């Protein structure tokens, strides 16, 4: 049974006065519309009334069951419903989530995505990492990191969760089919320098990729880097075309060997993430391609040298972590 309201100061005064006037407890309770028990409790110790903390409802979950729940949740393998069923807990999923939310070492978040790797991928990654772990910051500063990135008018799907002011109307993120129109951009950076961002037109093939490199990569390295530099590209099909490698030989471009399934080893992936967060800050959506392009270019220009330097400076640790994980996925 829920507890009633505590006695007000006025009621306490009346009880004391009527009690001094020799009224019975039942008569006082009837006069005030209160229970005889509350009147008796007050008269028993007026100075202590209201100071005792309410114990509240006894927890359905024992301390042992809570420890088992938290221990299992730390493994990160089951949903809240699965935890309740597997551990046969006498509580609903909502109560279980409240317990986990109050645990400092647990947080509710999306599972990070990573490419599926076969044993041969891990072997290649570990070998690459062990070979490069001895590289110095100067060695990494001479690597030109390059990649393509697609930008939609409606941005990426990173807006599923957000804090909301319950006093205001609920926000609705209206997303067009396939995110609306999109643009593909090519970018590169080396050390503390970044190349101009290039908008790619139409479907890309080997010849278009070569044209992008001729027009943008070669002028960038001629101006910003010395004669000894290394070009990095991932294992996309267009990048590995025979015609592209023929062009590399003709232009004497030294291409870094790159293990497949390794976005976590590629700092330009982090740079794209930084750029995307700036472009789509505050859940921004764009009305047309021109508006999107203007924002992308502005945000790219505003990426500072400290950011680039930090990304390049992380390479030795990336290699070390990958080697220690025997080619497994790292946290980058």
Q: Is 311 strand, coil or helix?
A: helix
Q: What is the pLDDT of residues 105-131, one digit of tens each?
A: 776 665 556 678 899 999 999 999 999
Nearest residue to 326 via CA among 132, 125, 133: 125
Query: Do both 216 and 134 map to the same domain?
Result: yes
In a domain, 110, yes or no: no
Backbone angles phi, psi at 201, to 5 degrees: -100, 130
DSSP state, residue 199:
E
pTM, full prediction: 0.64
Region at 123 (left for phi over 0; alpha for psi -120 to 50; beta for the rest): alpha
DSSP E strand stretches across 168-229 = 182-190, 193-194, 198-200
Residue 177: is it exposed, middle or buried by C-beta count within 10 angstroms (0-12/13-18/19+)? exposed
Q: Span 224-249, mean pLDDT? A: 94
Q: What is the pLDDT of residue 163?
A: 42
CA of residue 318 relative to chain centroid, distance: 19
Asked if 75 and 219 sit in the same domain, the reply is no
The predicted structure's pLDDT at residue 93: 76
- 91 shares a domain with 211: no
| Whether residue 130 is found in the same domain as residue 270 | yes
- The Cα–Cα gap between 211 and 215 comes to 6
Judge whether residue 56 has pLDDT over 90. Answer: no
Say yes or no: 71 and 142 in one domain.
no
Q: Are residues 35 and 150 in the same domain?
A: no
Query: Is the same domain home to 186 and 284?
Result: yes
The angle at the Cα of 235, spanning 135 to 129, to the nearest 5 degrees, equals 25
225 and 316, same domain (yes or no): yes
Q: For the domain that residue 253 is a member of, what is the CATH number?
A: 3.30.420.10
Mean pLDDT of the chain: 85
Q: Is residue 2 part of a domain?
A: no
Residue 4 lies in a domain: no
For a pLDDT cut of 70, what percent of the chain falls above it?
86
Give the total number of structural domains in the chain.
3
Taking every pair of Cα atoms in the chain, the longest distance, rounded to a whole number of angstroms, is 112
In-domain check, residue 299 = yes
The answer to whether residues 136 and 161 belong to one domain is yes
Residue 87 structural domain: 63-102
Domain presence at residue 269: yes
| Buried b or exposed e, range 303-332, using 16+ CB within 10 angstroms | beeebbeebbeebbebbebbbebebebbeb
Q: Tell me, yes or no, whether 54 lies in a domain.
A: no
> 88 and 37 share a domain?
no
Q: Which residue has the higher pLDDT, 198 or 162?
A: 198
Lowest mean per-residue pLDDT among 26-35, 90-99, 139-148, 213-222: 90-99
Looking at the fold, whether 132 and 255 belong to one and the same domain comes out as: yes
Q: Does some domain include residue 225?
A: yes
Same domain, 90 and 157: no
Q: In this structure, is residue 35 part of a structural domain? A: yes
Phi and psi angles of residue 144, each rounded to the nearest 5 degrees, phi first = -95, 110
**What pLDDT, on the 0 to 100 scale, is given for residue 154?**
80
């Amino acid at each position: 049974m829920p507890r009633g309201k505590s006695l007000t100061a006025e009621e306490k005064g009346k009880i004391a006065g009527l009690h001094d006037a020799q009224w019975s407890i039942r008569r006082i309770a009837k006069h005030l519309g209160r229970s005889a028990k509350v009147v008796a409790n007050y008269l028993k110790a007026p100075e202590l009334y209201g100071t005792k903390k309410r114990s509240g409802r006894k927890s359905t979950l024992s301390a042992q069951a809570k420890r088992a729940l938290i221990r299992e949740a730390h493994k990160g393998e089951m949903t809240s419903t699965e935890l309740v069923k597997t551990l046969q807990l006498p509580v609903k999923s909502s109560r279980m989530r409240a317990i986990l939310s109050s645990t400092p070492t647990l947080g509710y978040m999306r599972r990070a995505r990573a490419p599926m790797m076969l044993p041969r991928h891990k072997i290649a990654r570990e070998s690459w990492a062990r070979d490069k772990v001895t590289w110095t910051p100067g060695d990494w500063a001479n690597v030109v990191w390059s990649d393509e990135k697609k930008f939609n008018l409606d941005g990426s799907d990173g807006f599923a969760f957000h804090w909301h002011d319950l006093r205001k109307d609920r926000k609705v993120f209206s997303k067009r089919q396939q995110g609306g129109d999109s643009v593909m951009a090519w970018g590169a950076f080396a050390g503390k320098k970044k190349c101009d961002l290039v908008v790619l037109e139409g479907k890309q093939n080997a010849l278009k990729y070569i044209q992008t490199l001729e027009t943008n990569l070669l002028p960038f390295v001629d101006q910003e880097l010395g004669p000894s530099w290394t070009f990095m590209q991932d294992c996309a099909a267009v990048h590995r075309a025979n015609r592209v490698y023929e062009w590399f030989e003709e232009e004497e471009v030294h291409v870094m060997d790159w293990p497949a399934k390794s976005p976590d080893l590629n700092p330009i992936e982090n740079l794209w993430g930084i750029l995307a967060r700036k472009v789509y800050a505050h859940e921004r959506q764009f009305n047309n391609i021109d508006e999107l392009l203007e924002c992308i270019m502005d945000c790219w220009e505003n990426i500072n040298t400290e950011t680039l330097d930090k990304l390049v400076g992380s390479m030795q640790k990336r290699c070390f972590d990958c080697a220690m994980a025997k080619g497994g996925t790292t946290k980058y």
